[in-house]
Amino acid sequence: MKKLIFACIILLTVSACSSKKMVYFQDTKNAAITKSINHSPIRLQPEDKISILVNSKDVQLTNLFNLAYVTTRLGQTSSSLNSNTTQGVSGYTIDSAGNIDFPVVGTLHIAGMTRMEVAAFVKNKLISENLVKDPIVTVEYMNLQISILGEVSKPGRYNIVQDKITILEALSMAGDMSIYGKRENVRVIRNENGVQKTYTINLCSATEVFDSPVYYLQQNDVVYVEPNSMRTRQSTVNGNNIRSANFWTSMVSVFVTVAIFCINYL
């Protein structure tokens, strides 16, 4: 009986330890944490695609600086220069040198700039060259994405539509981690100057999350949530329907051992 009680205590302890790893921000349980976070804004890179729309009081003049957009419906193609919408707008893809070819103005080097910096740069160009007196320039991302893989509810690629996105926001877009995800060892793979770097972030600690260089994500980041040991043991042979023979053999062995123990000592 003492052995059985001891075994139950061990099982309860293991269960408590496992559940503890499920909790985010454990270091905020008894005290608030105040941290200043360095915001790393998204900066444009070669192969990024953006839309740039110019508006002013003179619509005909500003249309010279807006690319036509093309929409296809029922096999018919139409084009327009409506500067009041971004739907279907043709974008500018930044070349390998970090440049785009902007109408009338010519080549503009925008790699390394934020979205707002590009808007201010184009606006100043139009004013300084006396092309438009009162331009309003709007810049939007068109192909910036992040990938979220592993133990999340909805893995896949997600569009970046704002100037900053945190890893917490990214995981919420993917429906949060499943109960099988390792919260203490989430990985972020990032391309930095042609070099692939892997960072780890511990979501169980608010301090570590806020101090992490990948708290704010960048375009093309890959977030990977590793499965815990329980999920690994549940790996299957045929999809997620039939567990492996080793799994069932182990389960039978456990039941037989418990049955023999009960017969002999109870």
CATH superfamily, with its number, for domain 24-30+144-234: Outer membrane lipoprotein wza domain like (3.10.560.10)
Written as tens digits, the pLDDT of the chain (266 aa) is 544 444 444 444 444 444 456 677 776 666 666 666 777 789 999 999 999 999 999 988 888 999 876 443 434 433 334 434 444 567 999 999 999 999 999 999 999 999 999 999 999 999 999 999 999 999 999 999 999 999 999 999 999 988 999 999 999 999 999 989 999 999 999 998 889 999 999 999 988 998 899 999 999 999 999 998 777 666 654 445 445 555 556 666 666 666 666 666 66
What is the identity of the amino acid at 251?
Answer: M
* Domain residue ranges of the chain, discontinuous segments joined by +: 24-30+144-234, 49-141, 235-265
Domains 24-30+144-234 and 49-141 share a fold: no
* 49-141 CATH fold: wza like fold (3.30.1950)
User: What's this model's pTM, rounded to 2 decimal places?
Assistant: 0.71
